[in-house]
Amino acid sequence: MNYGKLIKKKRTELGIKQKEMAKDIGISTPYLSNIETNKKIPSKTLASKIEDFLEKKLRKEKKKKLEIDVESMSEKKYTKRELKEMEQEIIETYDLMQIEKNPFSKIAAIQRSLIEINKVIEENIIILETILEPLDQNILKKLKRPLKTTIKSFEKNKEKLEKLLANEYLIEED
């Protein structure tokens, strides 16, 4: 998928009109149309504005979806369709990162992902602590196995993050 088509697809998926996006990033609607049809190639600065605009809108959309209703909280089982949609979203994000050769956009995307991971973990730990506060021993015994499984998952992911951190290409910014 080329850059213009990808931009148009993301814009339409988010329900954004060309006019709104063009106005927000400071270009004319026909110019945005030319970018989406690959008649014009945006400058790096403009491509960055487009990316920032779409990411901002996507974050707002995700934030709406991430709001957790504590009362209806239960283990989510995903349908094949939902899993396929998540997989497609990951692939499209990867494609966008590959198209945009700017390493700073990749760094920003990774930083946002890490922030989101931490945020989700913290929110769910707070919910768990709130729910688990006044439990009796029988309930705690039944939760021991799922808690151990969650800890193992954290440990596996911790190892993955430590491998990334040990990567010789990472440079400290202190």
Q: Where are the domains of the chain?
A: 3-66+80-118, 135-174
DSSP 38: T
Angle between helices 3-13 and 44-66 (to 10 degrees): 30
pTM above 0.85, yes or no: no
Which of 86, 84, 51, 42 has its CA nearest to residue 65? 86
Q: Which fold has domain 3-66+80-118?
A: 434 Repressor (Amino-terminal Domain) (1.10.260)
Measure CA of the first residue to CA of the last residue in the chain; give whole Å. 38
Q: What does the pLDDT read at residue 73? A: 46
**Residue 3 and residue 38 in contact, taking contact as beta carbons nearer than 8 Å:** yes
Q: What are phi and psi of 122, to 5 degrees?
A: -60, -45
Mean pLDDT by 10 residues, the chain (174 residues): 82 89 91 90 86 83 59 59 80 65 64 81 79 72 84 86 70 48
User: What is the structure's pLDDT at 64?
Assistant: 66
